[in-house]
Structure 1
Amino acid sequence: MMENLIGETHRPGRIEVVCGSMFSGKTEELIRRMKRAKFARQRVEIFKPSIDKRYSDEDVVSHDKNIIPCTPVDSSATILLLSSDMEVVGIDEAQFLDEGLVDVCNQLANKGVRVIVAGLDMDFKGVPFGPMPALCAIADEVTKVHAICVRCGALAYASHRLVKNDKQVMLGEKTEYEPLCRECYQKAVGKEKCEEDAGTAENNA
C-alpha cells in the first residue's frame, strides 16, 4: 500500500484520457481523480471549454451533480499559460477544444505534469470527435467508460441525438441525447434515414 501511495505522489508526467458516450460517467471519473489529487495536496487546476454552460459557468458538474471548481477557456493555448506551476491538470469536454490541445497536453506531460482529459470520443453521427482521437493515440492510459443503452440495457456505444439538428456541436442533456448500443444505434439511424427518404419522396411527388 505504501508503495502505491509513493508512486501516486511521485508519478512522472503522463496523459490519461477518459472517453465514452454521453451519460457514461466521464466527468464523474475526472472529478474523482482530481479530488484524489487535491486530497494528496497536489497543485491542481481543471479547465473546460467556455461554451459549456449547461450546469454552471465556472464549475465542472457531472450528470450526478458532483461539482469541482474550474477555469473556463476559449482555446487550448490558454491552458498552457495557466498551468505553469500545476502538478495535475484536468480538462473536461475536451472534444469542444481545438486541435492544438494535443500539443498542449504533450508539452505539459513532458514537463512532468499529470494531465487528465475527459471527453466524447464520437459525435452523434458516430464520427471521431475533435482532438479526442489524437489524444487517445498519445495517451499513456485510455479509459473507455460506458453508459447503458436505454433501449435494450446493453453497454452503450454512441450518443444518439433525439432532435433534428445537423450541427456537430450542440449542447444537450437527456431530452436531446440518449445512449445506445451499436445495434440499437444502427436501427435508430436506419429508421431516421427511411423517414427522411420518405419525406423527400413525398415532397417531390
Structure 2
Amino acid sequence: MVVSNYDAVRPGRIEVYAGPVKSGKTRELISRIEPINYLAGAMGVIIRPEVDTRTENLMSRYGTQSKIREIRVCERNPEKIISVLEGLKEPQLGVVAIDEVQFFEKGLLRVVQELSRQEINVVMAGLNLDFKGETFGIMGDLMAMSDEVTILRACCEYTSVRGNCGRPASRSQRLINGKPAHYNAPIISIDGSKQEEKYEARCLEHHLVHGRPD
C-alpha cells in the first residue's frame, strides 16, 4: 500500500477521543478527519463495527455527519481491516478513522500499529468505560499506545426534585425500564436496540450499578 505524506494529517500518528455517552466523541472524530476532503488527492476512510446499527451513515448525536467513505467491518475480525484497505487500491490514503472502537477485539491493536508503520494516521473514538464504570474492552491498551488522547466529558443527566445535576459526567449509565442495569448484564448493548433501554451521561456520584461486588 503506497501512502502519501500530508503534513495536514500528521502521517503515522495514533489518536483517540474517549469519554462517556453524549460527550461528543463522534463529532470530534468527524471534525478531525473532514479536512482531508480539502486536500488535493488525499483520501480518508471511516471504519465502523457491524454491531453498531444505530445509523446507516456516521452521524453524531448533534447531527454532524461525515461525507467520507465508510466501511463496515466485523468487530470480531478486525484484522480484515488491512485487506479491505488494500482492496481499495487507493495510493493516497492518508487517514483511517475508527468509530465505536471499544467494540473491536484485541486484534485491532496490531492493525493500528501496522497502519501507523505505513504512515497512515489513525484516529479513533469510543467509550473508555463500560456501563459498570470499568475499562471497556481494548480501550485501555489503545489509549496507552496512542500519541494523543483526548478525554471528553458530558453533562450529568441525573434528575431529582432539586432539578438536573449538570456536573461534568465521566460515566455512562445504562437504564432498563428506568432502573440502573445489573452488574452482570451483558456489556455490549447498543442504544436504541431495545425500547425499554437507554443510556444517560452521569457524574461519579450519580452513576449507579446494582449488584456490584464489594
| TM-score higher than 0.5 | yes
Q: TM-score range by the shorter chain?
A: 0.7 to 0.9
| 5+ residue gaps, structure 2 | 1-5, 159-164
Provide the residue aligned with 2:59 in structure 1: 61
Shift of 1:28: 0.5
Distance 1:179 1:55 in 2: 20
1:181 aligns with 2:203: yes
Contact 2:14 2:147 in 1 (8 A): yes
| 5+ residue gaps, structure 1 | 1-5, 195-205
Provide the residue aligned with 1:160 in structure 2: 173
1:26 aligns with 2:48: no
Distance 2:189 2:211 in 1: 20
Provide the residue aligned with 1:77 in structure 2: 79
Shift of 1:131: 1.4
Distance 2:38 2:105 in 1: 31
Q: Deviations over 1:151-190 (max 9, x none)?
A: 21111111010114601000015951100011111xx33x
Contact 1:95 1:121 in 2 (8 A): yes
- Counterpart of 2:107, as a letter, is G
- Counterpart of 1:162, as a letter, is L
TM-score w.r.t. length of structure 2: 0.79
Shift of 1:108: 0.3
1:36 aligns with 2:40: no
1:89 aligns with 2:96: yes
SS of corresponding position for 1:159:
strand
TM-score w.r.t. length of structure 1: 0.82
Q: Higher Cα Rg: structure 1 or 2?
A: 1
When structure 1 is superposed on structure 2, of 83-92 and 168-177 the one drifting more is 168-177
Would you identify which runs of 4 or more consecutive aligned residues in structure 1 move more than 4 Å?
Answer: none
Distance 2:197 2:156 in 1: 15
Q: CA RMSD in A?
A: 2.0
